[in-house]
Amino acid sequence: MTESPAAILVPRGTVERGPKHWLHAYVVMVRWHLASLRLWLVMLTIVQLLAGVGFVLGISLFFAHIPTTAALFVSTGVPVINLLTVGMMLGPQLVANQRSDGSYEYLRSMPVSRSVAAMAWYTVCLLGGVPAMVVALVVAQLRYDLPLQVSPMIVPAVLLTAFAGTMLGYALGHAIGNPMATRMITQLLVFVVFGFAPVLYPLSQMPRWLGAVNWWLPFRHMAVVTRAALTPGTHAAVGSAYVVLCVWAVVCAALAGRALGRRP
């Protein structure tokens, strides 16, 4: 009995590191997110399913007879929106709410590294997006009898699209201090993705200058990589799309990491 009572109470001074600890913390954080979002995730999945299927079916009402191209573009664009919903649209608002109600500081005080927190959140975003994406594609195939052909490239396309979107949302949520501003920017982004980016319709249907602006934004490239993996034939600009998406993902992750690394 050489330890004094005071020594027992002193917290461990070292941060636990190593892959084993990382993995453990990751699993715990995924469970944390799933548990804290459980009600939301159920509702969100339903909303996602309805919205995805709704968009796929609803677009045909815009036309007296919908051309196959239009149907194909919407059906392969809706998966991108499904993948972005949790990470880019819901995520920043959740962080904004956490800031408003005070649980933000609490979450940051937890002994997990920034990479664990980010990867756990990314996993949750994928879980929230992929099922809706599959259902929307199946419905689209049944409704329009499209020439879809899923290639193995769907795996990197989905992973990178969701990653870039989640990191963008992560950066918005963490790097912008004002919850109100976060909400506004998020809603603006939703509007852009639906209407002002060539996600749901071909690039040729928007003014040339707007297409050029979109080259610098990630959404056009997300649609390119996802569409390339879902349709047959060769696709131009897939390589550059992957590069642009990677740059966006890395820059956003760095911004979020920097914001999280600063002590408030």
Partner 1 sequence: MTTGGVEARLGYVPQSELRSGVGYWVASLASMMRFDYGRVRQWVPMMIVIQTLMGAGMALLYGFFYPHVTAVRALYITTGAPTLALIPVGFVMLPGTVADQKLEGTFDYIWSLPSPRSAQAASTFMLFTLFALPGSVLALLVAAWRYNVHLTPSPLLAAAVLVCALMAITVGYGMALAIASPIVTNVVTNALVFVVLLFSPIVYPASQLPAWFASVHYVLPFYNMAVVIRAGLTSGIVAHVATSFVVLAAWTGAGAGATAWVVGRRR
Q: Is 47 in the site for partner 1 (CB under 8 A)?
A: yes
Among 194, 213, 237, 260, binds partner 1 (CB under 8 A): 194
Structure tokens given for 46: 């339903």
Please list, in sequence order, all residues whose beta carbon lies within 8 angstroms of the beta carbon of residue 28, skipping any fewer than 6 positions away.
112
Give the 3-state secondary structure of residue 159.
helix
Structure tokens given for 211: 């297409």
Nearer to partner 1, 152 or 207 (CB): 207
What is the helix (H) or strand (E) element at residue 29, kind and residue range? helix 19-36
Nearer to partner 1, 58 or 239 (CB): 58
CA dihedral 87, 130, 246, 116 (to 10 degrees): 60
Nearer to partner 1, 29 or 224 (CB): 224
Among 37, 59, 72, 84, binds partner 1 (CB under 8 A): 59
Q: Is 61 in the site for partner 1 (CB under 8 A)?
A: yes
Structure tokens given for 87: 């990470």
Structure tokens given for 63: 């036309």
Closest approach, Cβ 14 to partner 1, in A, equals 43
Note whether 163 and 169 are within 8 A (CB).
no
Nearer to partner 1, 44 or 154 (CB): 44
Q: Is 142 in the site for partner 1 (CB under 8 A)?
A: no
**Interface positions with partner 1 (CB under 8 A):** 43, 47, 50-51, 54-55, 58-59, 61-64, 67, 69-70, 184, 191, 194-196, 200-202, 205-206
